[in-house]
Structure formats: structure tokens, C-alpha cells
Amino acid sequence: PLRPSPLGPRAQVRVCADGGANRVFDGMPELLPGHARDDVRSRYKPDVIKGDMDSVRPEVKEYYSNLGTKIADQSHDQDTTDLHKCVAFITDNSPGSDKSNLCILVLGALGGRFDHEMGNINVLHLFPNIKIVLLSDDCLIFLLPRTHTHSIHIERSVEGPHCGLIPVGTPSTSTTTTGLRWNLDNTHMSFGGLISTSNIVDEDQVMVTSDSDLIWTISLRH
Amino acid sequence: DYLQEDKMLWRTIRSMEVMAHSSSFLLPKLHQPAKTPANNYTLVVLNQQLPRFMPRLWAQAKMRICADGGANRIFDEMSQMTNDLDRNRYIPEIVEGDMDSIRPEVKRFYSSQGSKISDKSHNQETTDLHKCISSIRHRTPDHEKANLCVLVTGALGGRFDHEAANINVLYVFSDMRIVLLSDDCLIQLLPKTHHHEIYIESSVEGPHCGIFPIGAPSTSTTTTGLKWNLSDAEMRFGSMISTSNIVDSDKVTVQSDADLLWTISLRNLT
């Protein structure tokens, strides 16, 4: 995305999925043009490069490897997407069995080839107990599993007001919300019928209860 | 009685109508095959950067509709693509929508050049794409509906809720042929009511493809012509969906008990 990421210094583990390493290698110096390229690259160094390694440039892989980045080559496993491999890796390697504090922030999962985007959205559904947030310049999305009532805190300085709730996998016979301009009240949602898009967050807290897994999306400010 | 079951299944396949699909609209105009499933193209331009092959779509379409800010895109970007500074060559027949994104000077220009300005700002219930598709459907006589194919640019990417709403338009108007196009791929609905034959134009599309049960799971989908075919397979978000598949033939067939979204990658077209 277009801004130098404030996520950098805060994230505890940074993983590049295959060609994501090319993006960090090329893109971070471009976002911070006043600084020496090698300084930027060592400051924004991934901890791991993981995936099937068919996109990462050899010189990029070597550069980060020399800086201490772990190269986790999974080119033998063609059945899962790069994102799936990364999420599985992160959950396998995070301390303790309690994943409730774990939050995985993902860049580059939206846009581009639609089958990739769908595969990435499917990863959210495959790991419903892990908070995985897909981010783009324009918006973020994450899954609201049907097993819980959700309380979404809105950070108004960086996100909103446009939002939506989307039943990607199965229709919802009943969804109820508070905090939106057009709240749902035991409302039926389905593709081919009503889905909640171009909604507006009206309060700092949005509550959602549903009988179906929903994708929550909110726009990001500049 | 297995024999009886087989006979019944065969009868169902035979009685289900075949719907043929082809991306021949992406071919240069000179190379159009003699027979195409649809030969009446309408183009709808939404408000995102134009795909590189927009001039091809513009030439193919009998009718061009700019949805609100899509008019800004044609005004600003078309001449760069065609190296043709004459904006008069790219005048949409209709500019339609709630008019909250189109720049006043752009609206004035197209109005003065003969575009019909269809102001739907009173209707805030539906998206610009929904309004455009609804109008197209309303305007198309019944006997021409089977030949109609609506090509849409700018529906994918950007804000996710917009993308979802645009995909929902395919489901809401499931009896129409609507193709959403981006630089990277196209998507279209394969309604469960038909047996689908997708003719692959390998000079412009492929090999990456996928099939998705958006909105509702599929308990049974069968395909031919893919590298990893499905055989009476279940597909569901949270379980298996067909991504990063590869077209392995000139013709892909799909039959399913659920509405599916088909996607195929586009080659580098200009």
C-alpha cells in the first residue's frame, strides 16, 4: 500500500509470502526516499520468507537470507496458497495454545487476480478462530464467525465511514447490528438478495450478531 | 436400482439447457469468429482506472454507458490509451447514475456532444451498476435479450463493499449475461439452471482460472477441461473452492447445483 507502514515497528513477526519479499525489497525504499536503501531494507527486514518460492527473485532471497531472514521453502506443497502456508506457519510457531491474542495483518491479498483474492478470503473461513485482517489502500476486511457476537471498535481517525457486511459463504437468515446508519434487525442476507454494502458507521462501537459467518469491511482514510 | 438412477441422471443432463460462453469480445475486431454466443455488446464503465484493453471493448460495443464517475475516466484516460487526442471519438451514448462523482465540466461536455444524461440521484437504494443493468434490461426487447452481453469495467478492486455489491448484481440479474473485467481477469456467473460450455480464447485469456460458490455452497459440481477437474464435488467457503486451477482444453464445461462464479486470467492485452 501507498503509505510507509506504521505496522512495521509494531508487528512482532513479519512474514513475506514468496513474492511479497520482492515487494518489500523494492517498495520500502520507494516509500522512504530520503533514506539510504540498505538502511531501509535492514530496518524493514522480514523475519521469514515462506511459500512455494516461484515468485521471489533469487537476489532478493539471498539479500534477506544474508541479513538473517529465515527461508522456509514449501515449494513441495502445491495444494495450499501462500497465505494459507503463512497462517499455518504463524499459528504453529506462536507461543502457547491460546491464539486469542494473535492477530495476523495481511497486505496484498485483495485486488489482482480474482481467484487469488477468493483463495485468500477462503483462508479467513478456514481459520475462523484466528483474527486475520486483509488490508488494501482502500479498505480492510476480516471474518466475523457466527459463533460469537462481535463488538467492533471503530478507530475514526483512520477508518470509515463506509462499511459493509457480506455473507460470502452461506446466506444468513438472521443478522442484527447496532452502530450503523442502516442497522440490520433479524434481517435475511444473501447473494441474489440483500447484502449490506455502502453502509455507514454511525457510532464508535458496532455490534454484530449473525447465524452465518460474515465478512466485515470498512474503508480506510487517506 | 443403479441402472434406473443412471437413466434419470442422464435425462436431467440432457434436458438442461446448454449456455455457451466465449470471450471473443476481447479479440481484435477483425478476428471475430463467425458464431458467438452473444453478438450484441453493451459496455458499462464504472469509476476506476480503465483497463489497458478498453479501446477494444469500446469498438465492440453497440452501446456505451458511463456510470457516473466512469465518465471522468473516459474523459481523462481514453486519449492516452489510443494516442488520439480527439475526445469526440469516444462519446458514450448514456451517462447514468447518481451523479455525485462526475465532474461538472465532464457532464457538460458529454451532454453537449449528444450523450443522454440519465440522472438517478433520487434513488439511493441501489448502486450505479445496479441502476445501469436495470435500465439496460428495461430497454432491451425480449427477443434481443438472448443475444445481449453486458461488459463492465471498474467493478473489481477498490473498496471491497463496492466489489461485493457489483458481484451481487450478477446474482440479482442472473438471467442476463454480465461480464466484469479488470486488467488481470474476468468474472461471470454460471447459473445453476444451465449446463455451461466455456470456449477458451487462449490468445487473450488463461491459463489461470477458478470456480467459486459465492453466496451458497455447492453439494455437487462437475467440470471437464480443467487441469484439476471436479467430479460431483462439494465446494464451500471454509472448505474446498477451486482456485489457481488451469484450463487444459479449448472448452471447459461446468454443471452444478449452485450458482457459481467463473474467473479466468487475462493475458497482457493492449
Of B120, B150, B183, which residue is a domain's last? B183
pLDDT tens digits along B147-172: 899 999 999 999 999 999 999 999 99
- B245: nearest CA partner in chain A: A115
Res. B37: pLDDT tops 80: no
Same domain, B103 and B221: no
Same domain, B125 and B189: no
Same domain, B117 and B60: yes
Looking up residue B139, the CATH number of its domain turns out to be: 3.40.50.10240
Same domain, B64 and B148: yes
pTM of the model: 0.92
Task: Tell me which residue in B159, B217, B236 faces A138 most closely, judged by beta carbons.
Answer: B159
Residue B219 in domain = yes
Same domain, B45 and B168: yes
Residue B269: closest CA among B106, B95, B27: B27
Task: Tell me which residue in B157, B171, B243 faces A118 most closely, judged by beta carbons.
Answer: B243
Q: How confident is the model at residue B11 (pLDDT cuts 50, 70, 90)?
A: very low
pLDDT of residue A147: 96
Same domain, B45 and B160: yes
pLDDT of residue A81: 83
Q: What one-character-per-residue DSSP string does chain A give? A: --SPPTHHHH-S--EEETTHHHHHHHHHHHHSTTS-HHHHHHHT--SEEEE--SSS-HHHHHHHHHTT-EEEE-TT--SS-HHHHHHHHHHHHSSSS--TT-EEEEES-SSSSHHHHHHHHHHHHHSTTSEEEEE-SSEEEEEE-TTS-EEEE--TTTEEEEEEEE--SS-EEEEEEESBSS--SSEEE-TTS--EEEEEB-SSEEEEEESS-EEEEEEE--
pLDDT tens digits along B240-270: 999 999 999 999 999 999 999 999 999 987 6
Mean pLDDT of chain B: 91
A80 touches chain B (CB under 8 A): no
pLDDT tens digits along A117-151: 999 999 999 999 999 999 999 999 999 999 999 99
Of B151, B183, B215, which residue is a domain's last? B183
Mutate: best of B48, B159, B190, partner A, most A CBs <10 A: B159
Same domain, B232 and B140: no
Same domain, B64 and B156: yes
Mean pLDDT is highest, among A163-172, B9-18, B82-91, for A163-172
Q: In terms of pLDDT, which residue wins out, B65 or B146? A: B65
C-alpha span between B247 and B206 (Å, rounded): 7
Task: Tell me which residue in B168, B217, B243 faces A116 most closely, judged by beta carbons.
Answer: B243
Of B183, B199, B229, which residue is a domain's last? B183
Q: Are A159 and A152 in contact (CB under 8 A)?
A: no
Residue B28 in domain = no
Residue B134 in domain = yes
Same domain, B128 and B203: no
Same domain, B127 and B222: no
Same domain, B152 and B170: yes
Residue B251 in domain = yes
Q: Which superfamily, per CATH, for A132-221?
A: Thiamin pyrophosphokinase, thiamin-binding domain (2.60.120.320)
B8: how many CB neighbours lie within 10 A of its CB?
A: 9
Q: Domain range holding B238? A: 184-269
ipTM of the complex: 0.91
Res. A7: pLDDT tops 70: no
Res. A3: pLDDT tops 70: no
Looking up residue B231, the CATH number of its domain turns out to be: 2.60.120.320
pLDDT tens digits along A147-200: 999 999 999 999 999 999 999 999 999 999 999 999 999 999 999 999 999 999
Q: Where are the domains of chain A?
A: 13-78, 132-221
Residue B14 in domain = no
pLDDT of residue A165: 98
Res. B39: pLDDT tops 70: yes
Q: Which superfamily, per CATH, for A13-78?
A: Thiamin pyrophosphokinase, catalytic domain (3.40.50.10240)
- B213: nearest CA partner in chain A: A169
Same domain, B174 and B188: no
Q: Indicate the number of domains in chain B.
A: 2
